[in-house]
Structure formats: structure tokens, C-alpha cells
């Protein structure tokens, strides 16, 4: 399932680059128009889902989207939520997706200021942590 319509992909790609540029120069999400954030987050999450498809981990970037990633244990058919769930703020997600922060540094809590923490990510199985680490930063 695609998070974006085909006609929106060029705008979403541009939005991702604009957000990465703004955040890499010390900006924050408050400085970025909401529609640009929406497109950038959805575009980057779709890239990640294409890079590491699966349904063992659900990556949530509220309020914009959630995607299933990483091969592994299939979820209980009565509970459609994957066994592992990571919730990340849009700002932290875009910093990770854009290569401003590395997944490993966030897991080790080295790069965190007052942005966010993602304790659920540290509890992921090492295999999933390494898959996500290898996929970031995202490239088109």
C-alpha cells in the first residue's frame, strides 16, 4: 500500500529535500509548513518500507503515518499490530531519514539533545536494529 499518490511523488521528494536542508542548518519542524512536513514524512517512510519490507516492526510517525517494515515474525492474525512498535516524532524521523543523525547514535543516546528519545527502538531485536541502521540515511 502506497502512502502517496503517484502524482504527489515529485512534490513529496522536493518536500523531503527541503526539510532535510532546513533541519541540517539548525532549523526545527516549527519552521516548516505542515503540508511540507506531511509530504516529507510520508515520502521518507515509503522509501524505508520499500528498502526493508516486512511486517515485524511498525514505525509510527504521528500524526502523519505508520509503516510496517523488517521481515520477521508475522503478527497474530487476531491482532494486526506487529510485535514491535516504534513511535518517533516527525522531527527526529526526518533527522534520521535525512542523515543528520545516525540510527546508531540515537540508539546509544549520543546525539539526543532535547529532540526526542525512542526507548522502544533500543528494545528491538538486534537484527531489526541493524536492518534499520543499514537503510538510513535514505537515498532515492
How many independent structural domains does the chain possess?
1
- CA–CA separation, 8 vs 11, rounded Å? 5
- Inside any domain, residue 129: yes
pLDDT number for residue 62: 93
**β-strand pairing of 84-87 with 57-61:** parallel
User: The CATH number of the domain where 40 resides is what?
Assistant: 3.30.1050.40
C-alpha cell at position 128:
531489526
Per-residue pLDDT of the chain in tens (140 residues, 90 and over written 9): 588 999 999 999 999 999 999 999 988 889 899 999 999 999 999 999 999 999 888 999 999 999 999 987 665 666 666 778 888 889 989 999 999 988 888 877 765 554 455 666 767 778 888 899 999 999 87
pTM for the structure as a whole: 0.88
- Inside any domain, residue 100: yes
Beta-carbon count within 10 A of 53 CB: 12
- CA–CA separation, 61 vs 87, rounded Å? 6
User: Domain limits at 72?
Assistant: 6-135
- Inside any domain, residue 59: yes
Question: What is Dmax (Cα atoms) for the chain?
Answer: 45
- Inside any domain, residue 1: no
Residues 96-137: tens digit of each pLDDT: 999 998 888 887 776 555 445 566 676 777 888 889 999 999
- Inside any domain, residue 140: no
C-alpha cell at position 36:
511540507
- Inside any domain, residue 81: yes
- Inside any domain, residue 14: yes
C-alpha cell at position 70:
523488517
Amino acid at each position: 500500500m502506497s502512502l502517496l499518490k503517484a502524482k504527489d511523488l515529485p512534490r513529496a521528494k522536493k518536500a523531503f529535500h527541503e526539510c532535510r536542508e532546513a533541519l541540517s542548518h539548525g532549523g526545527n519542524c516549527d519552521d516548516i509548513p505542515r503540508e511540507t512536513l506531511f509530504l516529507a514524512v510520508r515520502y521518507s517512510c515509503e522509501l524505508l518500507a520499500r528498502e526493508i519490507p516486512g511486517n515485524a516492526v511498525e514505525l509510527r510517525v504521528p500524526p502523519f503515518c505508520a509503516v510496517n517494515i523488517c521481515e520477521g515474525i508475522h503478527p497474530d492474525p487476531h491482532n494486526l499490530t506487529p510485535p514491535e512498535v516504534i513511535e518517533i516524532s516527525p522531527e527526529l524521523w526526518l533527522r534520521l531519514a535525512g542523515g543528520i543523525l545516525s540510527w546508531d547514535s540515537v540508539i546509544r543516546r549520543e546525539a539526543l539533545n532535547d529532540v526526542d528519545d525512542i526507548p522502544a527502538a533500543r528494545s528491538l531485536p538486534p537484527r531489526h536494529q541493524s536492518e534499520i541502521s543499514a537503510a538510513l540515511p535514505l537515498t532515492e
